[in-house]
Structure 1
């Protein structure tokens, strides 16, 4: 089966903001990614639920991603005035399929990061573009950068989608402070990130 390798040099933005609070105190964030030139047309929209890790796990923060049922209703959610957004109870009702869960730990002293973590071994089921499972890695750096690395693999362990060379690196806008986003007790207002990204993508026909 032919494989197409693409080298891309893109400018993307990642925007996130609080969307609702769950009964158990978990925070629900809305996140979207779009190309810099077309922010009104996001290509990825997700809910992220952030809460303290269960006591039996050796981690500090649990971050789970979910699909959005009425996804068209949430385009540019963070850019809108609050009275033009879906209500919190509507947001909770639109939480869709669970996609991934990442367990984050505080980084050791002397490292560049504040938090880092990944999906459990074996990742989570994923059928997009010939994959059978996907993995995710996430790091929150002290300079407020966010590094994310999502990849899909087939039954033989071959990577079939995602960046091959390393993670996407999102830099904060000058007025942003992202370091406390993954603290279960601190959720800043709307955030904005953009960075030119260069990497190799593998797509399977």
Structure 2
């Protein structure tokens, strides 16, 4: 009798747990999926070892402002100089129809927020007055498969003055464990003046 009751309870538990897991997976939206796989610490070390034209870059994406939506605090730096990132941004990720948009924000006092990823609650002190939207530089992504999103900025929509550029372009592929990012700057005549020339940087999660 005890064996029968134990077996019955086990079946009931297995069924309820399994149905609960299924419900949870069904509740996960493509937007949640994208934000979940974007966050983390990445490096391009593998690529830099096989191709000397690429540097070993550290890329950190830390979720912040969870009560306001989907925001990521982003730092990009040479791997051996992570205390001095050359790019500090905030990404706002949202869904528009069947597309996913990553809007890019700069910080007015970015040095004050560098390296706070270990205690992300500190970013709660940031306000919308401390950041500024980079108009036309948003990346529009499409979900092309489970845990895979691909997209780019608009054609000549993102202004840039870096190294004589007039506009910049970014192409991005996000997967569960990697991000392929190809950022390029072009002058008014369409000549590339900065960024990788052979292809994007391949970042893998650490």
**Which TM-score tier does this pair reach, normalised by the shorter chain?**
0.5 to 0.7
Tell me, in whole angstroms, the C-alpha distance in 1 between the residues paired with 2:127 and 2:150: 28
- For residues 154 and 9 of structure 1, do their structure 2 counterparts lie closer, same or farther at Cα, with a shift above 3 Å needed? closer
Q: Do the aligned partners of 2:60 and 2:76 also contact (CA within 8 Å) in 1?
A: yes
1:4-30 CA-to-partner distances (Å, cap 9, x unmatched) read xxx6442221111112147xx542210
- For residues 81 and 136 of structure 1, do their structure 2 counterparts lie closer, same or farther at Cα, with a shift above 3 Å needed? closer
Tell me, in whole angstroms, the C-alpha distance in 1 between the residues paired with 2:163 and 2:153: 20
Q: How far does residue 87 in structure 1 lie from its aligned partner after superposition?
A: 2.3
Work out whether 1:132 is the aligned partner of 2:180.
Answer: no
Q: How far does residue 86 in structure 1 lie from its aligned partner after superposition?
A: 3.6
Task: Write out aligned runs for 1:65-144 (5 A).
Answer: 65-80=104-119, 82=121, 85-88=122-125, 90-98=126-134, 100-107=137-144, 114-142=148-176, 144=177
1:97-128 CA-to-partner distances (Å, cap 9, x unmatched) read 4151111001158xxx7100001122311111
Give 1:62's aligned residue.
101
Q: How far does residue 33 in structure 1 lie from its aligned partner after superposition?
A: 1.0
Q: How far does residue 66 in structure 1 lie from its aligned partner after superposition?
A: 1.2
Tell me, in whole angstroms, the C-alpha distance in 2 between the residues paired with 1:9 and 1:75: 24
Give 1:187's aligned residue.
none
* Residue in structure 2 matching 1:14, options 52, 55, 59: 59
Indicate the structure with greater helix content: 2
Moved over 3 A (4+): none
Q: How far does residue 61 in structure 1 lie from its aligned partner after superposition?
A: 0.7
- Give TM-score, length-normalised by structure 2: 0.68
Rg bigger for which structure?
A: 2
Q: Do the aligned partners of 1:67 and 1:98 also contact (CA within 8 Å) in 2?
A: yes
What is the alpha-carbon root mean square deviation over aligned residues? 2.1
Larger relative CO (CA 8 A, sep 6+): 1 or 2?
1
Q: Which runs of 5+ in 2 are unaligned?
A: 1-51
Query: What count of residue pairs does the alignment treat as equivalent?
Result: 154
Indicate the structure with greater strand content: 1
Tell me, in whole angstroms, the C-alpha distance in 1 between the residues paired with 2:123 and 2:69: 18
Tell me, in whole angstroms, the C-alpha distance in 2 between the residues paired with 1:68 and 1:125: 17
Q: Which runs of 5+ in 1 are unaligned?
A: 1-6, 174-205
